[in-house]
Amino acid sequence: MLKALQQVTQAVNENFSRAQILRIYENILRQFPSVRGVALYSRQNGELRCEFSDWDFEGASLPFSLENYLEQLGELQIPYHLPDSELPFNVVIPSYHKERVLGYLLARLDSNPEAGPEDPDSAQMQSEFLQTLNNVVFVALENKMLAREALRQEALRKEIELASELQALLFPQSTEGLAGVAVSGSHKTFDEVGGDYYDYFPLPDGDVALCIADVSGKGMAAALLMANFQANVRALFPYVPDLAQLGHTLNKKVDESAQGEKFITCFIARYDPRRRLLHYANLGHNPPLFLSGTELSTLDAQAPALGMLPELPSFATQSLSIAPDDLLVAYTDGLTELHNEDNQLFGLERLKNIVLENRILPPAELNSLIARHLNSFRGESPFRDDIALLTCRFF
């Protein structure tokens, strides 16, 4: 018995493969003098899998479901000795990790009826040894699986970290070349990567392109669609001066990429500093705030979100005359829908009040102040969505 246990532990210590450990275990069981038949089942991904067996349960006509039978036995004291029956096994030995069943050893044990309880030939001693051996094997297999999963998770973590670093590079890094406007943006992702996006960049004719968008959903899928959308915005904006046409073209691009699985709300604007005109289109996005003096208005949507329909219905863009010190604050829904510990929403009215009371602040300082209000409001409640904020001061 001890030699068999040493053989298994040596295979474990030398980091044998799962298949090698199981093969060694099967050979040991088949050489065990009192074992007349064995079957080993492991539970993987919620399903019972036969590793090896002397019996063809699939071909036999059992009067019960083997899986249900084993599940019921797993709640009983182990090892479980079955009464005499027509079944090919008379001992069931489950192995556990905490409360989770890792597998079952089914065996037909023939022991010396004259052996005492402490005799190696007794049924009790043999089943207890098999239980020990079985636990060693299954714990080793579980540890190997956990080690592989840990390596996979570490590799995934590094990939996500890299994706987060690359995504950060998609946001504008400089305001150089922007005429007639001071701009600041910020974003906070729910996961390491997210689907909220803002952008600003100079156009060849001297205009300034502004954009904020929110991809439905979260995580890597939203981030990938966001990256694709950012590339399309940057590529199309300089060559499609009409914002309605730009909206229709972007909708086709999103529909092709998302295949109806996701959509993007979007606010796009083009500022002409020479004529002091802001042309904009809101496609299903939260209405940005526009503050002129002390008059606060919202720039509401004119069309559905991108990707919701294969073709957008016709819509008209809007234009605003811009005075010095006018302020534009665009945001994604993660900001106004932030919850606190009492499950209250931050809401649009709180944002309006902050903007009105602090309208003289530069865009970067106003964004920082809004972020502090958000953190103070939520308390210990976690962020549940991505947040993006784009603030523009015209001069």
Whole-number pLDDT of residue 385 = 87
What was the pLDDT predicted at 114?
54
Q: What is the pLDDT of residue 231?
A: 94
Q: What is the pTM of this model?
A: 0.68
Residue 161 located in a structural domain: no
β-bridge mates for residue 306, sequence order: 264
Assess whether 140 and 224 both reside in one domain. no
Report the side by side order of strands in the sheet with 327-331: 181-188, 387-394, 327-331, 289-292, 295-298
Residues 79 and 130 in one domain: yes
Give the pLDDT of residue 208.
98
Domain closes at, from 112, 147, 182:
147
My answer on whether 263 and 119 are in the same domain is no
Q: Do residues 141 and 175 share a domain? A: no
- For residue 355, being part of any structural domain is answered with yes
> Would you say residue 164 lies in a domain?
no
In this prediction, residue 50 carries a pLDDT of 86
pLDDT along the chain (395 residues), means of 10: 66 76 84 82 82 71 66 59 68 81 83 56 71 83 82 82 78 91 91 85 97 89 90 95 96 91 95 97 97 95 94 95 97 95 94 96 97 93 90 97
pLDDT score at 329: 98
Task: Count CB atoms within 10 A of the CB of residue 10.
Answer: 11
Which residues form the domain of 50?
A: 2-147
- In this structure, are 117 and 209 located in the same domain? no
Asked if residue 175 and residue 142 are part of one domain, the reply reads no
Considering the domain boundaries, does residue 153 fall inside one? Answer: no
- The CATH number that applies at residue 142 is 3.30.450.40
CATH number, position 295 = 3.60.40.10
* Overall number of domains in the chain: 2
What is the C-alpha to C-alpha distance for residues 183 and 391, in angstroms, rounded to an integer?
Answer: 6
